[in-house]
Amino acid sequence: MSKCDYEPKLHFTKEAKEFHINKCVSEKLTNMSDEKKCVEYLSGILHSNKKTSCSIEDLTYRCESLREEFKVKDAEKLCEIEYDGMKKFWTEKYLG
């Protein structure tokens, strides 16, 4: 048996937060730059709201605009918010 020293509280260290934020920002920017994923996501949002008036071209244009508008600082802010929510949830579930 190995001597694994994993503990859930390790997720809340400064180093773990930095790792999480960096990974999250990379994923957000990668997803935003993937036109197919962006169009699929926007299409899903439209269909879940029973809206079907947008063409693939409309969604592609919107994705191009989003890609230009969504910067690293935006991804960092979004990832910080996600991390704070994750930290609250897991703290309450396992450490609270």
Grade residue 96 by pLDDT with cuts at 50, 70 and 90: low
The pLDDT assigned to 8 comes to 78
- Cite the DSSP H helix spans in the chain: 14-33, 35-48, 56-69, 72-90
**Over pLDDT 70: what percentage of the chain?**
98
Nearest-angstrom CA–CA distance, 71 and 1: 46
Q: What's the average model confidence in pLDDT over 76-91? A: 93
Q: How confident is the model at residue 10 (pLDDT cuts 50, 70, 90)?
A: confident
Looking at per-residue pLDDT, the higher value among 52 and 50 belongs to 50
Give the residue, 85 or 10, on which the prediction is more confident.
85
